[in-house]
Amino acid sequence: MSKADPLRTIPMFNSLTAKDRRKMAGEVVETRYGKGEYIFREGDPAEAFHILKEGSVKCVKSSPDGKEVTLKVLMPGDLFCCDAAVFDGATHPGCAQPIGDVSVLRLSKKAYFDLLRRNPDAAFEVIKYLGNRLNEAQENAKVLALDRAEQRLAGLLVKLSSQAGVREADGIRLTVRLTRQDLADMAGVAVETATRIMGQFKRARLVSGMAKRLVIHNLGRLEQLMLSASPAAR
């Protein structure tokens, strides 16, 4: 992300002129967080937009019994998962936790709302952005309702490969560290199920490793599984 123009790559800001972005950048506060800290917690007032500059962040939701469930992983350039809460004045519906060291840009909603009042094109961009978020949420709901566990996990790995994948000699290495519990949470399956399916994927040589180094060796086969729910190995 450009240091001179930190908002240039953010979807909700890319319709602004360079002058407007520079003005908004003057309102941005950069903060660093480490593993074990919270950027915000569930129930905190949603008073600002958060933009990930460096590192990766987990969006986490607490279950009624107090268990924390990973909903998604954010990568540099992403606006945080609770942007709708900022617009409607609600509290954060979940927590944001760093995965390792991260740098976060914080922009007050007052500064951004003042810009929207002056710039109709920016307001239209927000409508498109939130529409895309709604479509993503609907697609995720469909996957959880209709797809088999194997499809869900294959689809998650395919998505992560595009979000956080680095191509290396032996395949696509995920740059974000995820536990089996994280993968299970994001795929909407039990951790035992995620462990069993990842074992199948490894035996079929689709993936290797875990946590610190998860490598995808056969992205095409995972894409087929995502669409067909066929057995991992034939």
Confidence check: pLDDT of 66 > 80: no
Strand runs labelled E in the chain: 29-33, 48-62, 68-74, 95-108, 165-168, 171-174, 207-210, 213-216
- CATH 1.10.10.10 in the chain is located at 148-228
- Using pLDDT thresholds of 50, 70 and 90, give the confidence band for residue 146: low
Superfamily of domain 18-143: Jelly Rolls (2.60.120.10)
CA distance 50 to 48: 6
CA distance 185 to 183: 5
Other CB atoms within 10 Å distance of the CB of residue 117? 10
CA distance 179 to 212: 9
- Using pLDDT thresholds of 50, 70 and 90, give the confidence band for residue 39: very high
- Using pLDDT thresholds of 50, 70 and 90, give the confidence band for residue 218: very high
Confidence check: pLDDT of 215 > 90: yes
- CATH 2.60.120.10 in the chain is located at 18-143
Give the range with max mean pLDDT: 13-17, 62-66, 95-99, 201-205: 201-205
Is the model more confident about 232 or about 23?
A: 23
**pTM for this entry:** 0.72
Q: From edge to edge, which strands make up the β-sheet containing 207-210?
A: 165-168, 171-174, 213-216, 207-210
User: Which pLDDT score is estimated for 233?
Assistant: 42
User: Which pLDDT score is estimated for 232?
Assistant: 47
- Using pLDDT thresholds of 50, 70 and 90, give the confidence band for residue 143: low
The strand pairing partners of 165, in sequence order, are 174
The predicted model gives 49-72 an average pLDDT of: 84
The CATH code of domain 148-228 reads 1.10.10.10
Q: Which residues contact 186 (CB under 8 A, 6 or more apart)?
A: 70, 71, 72, 73, 156
